Each structure stands twice: as structure tokens, then as C-alpha cells.
Amino acid sequence: MDQTLAVWLTIVVAVLAANAPYLTHRLGLVGPRRAPKPAGWLLLELFLMALLTLGLGFALESWQGQRAPQGWEFYAAALCLFLTLGFPGFVWRYLRRRSAVLEEVADGA
């Protein structure tokens, strides 16, 4: 696997992982169904998905050669990027659906 493919694989996995907690009401993506999912669980799932994505990136980097040491700035930027990648799922879960419910309420009144 070349470096370009590893980078794109990591980006695609990060986009999917950042949006996955918003796509289901299940706790931990496979646990019991809770609607609505508590905000604490959602943040925990996002954090765990970010760790798994970082782990994949580190594994691919070490597989291709020596892994470069990172400072706290890298982790802060990676977490902000991960949260930004999850914005489409946030919009779909909380903004798009809420506006559809409000339209139904307005039509029924």
C-alpha cells in the first residue's frame, strides 16, 4: 500500500467514524436502543471513534516506516478536525430532522 492510499483510507475512515454516532440511537453503535441518545454517550462515542481512527493512522504510518513523534498540538488539531468531519451527521440528526418536525407541527396547526 502506498502512502497516498493510506492517507485516503484514513480520511475516509475518519469521515465515516465521525458521522457514525449520529446515525443510530443505539448506545455504542451496537448496544441497546435509546431515543434520544444522551449527550454524554454521544461525546463518549465520538471520543472513542477518534481514538480508533488515530490508532488506524498510527498503524498505517508505522507499517510504512518509522512513526513520527507528535506533540499535543497534533492531537488538538486532530480532535478539532474529527469534530469538523462529523458536522454533516450533526446537521442530519439535530437540524434537518428538527426542521421537518417543526414543519409537520406548523402544517397540523
Residues of the domain holding 50: 3-108
pLDDT of residue 78: 92
Identify the residue with better confidence: 41 or 80. Answer: 80
pLDDT of residue 73: 94
Nearest-CA neighbor of 14 among 54, 73, 47?
Answer: 54
Number of domains present in the structure of the chain: 1
Instruction: Taking residues 79-93, report their average pLDDT.
Output: 92
Mean pLDDT of all residues in the chain?
A: 84
Q: What is the pLDDT of residues 23-48, one digit of tens each?
A: 887 777 777 777 777 888 889 999 99
The rounded distance, in Å, linking the Cα atoms of 2 and 63 is: 11
CB of 21 within 8 A of CB of 44?
Answer: no
Identify the residue with better confidence: 1 or 93. Answer: 93
CA torsion 12→18→22→28, rounded to 10°?
Answer: 110
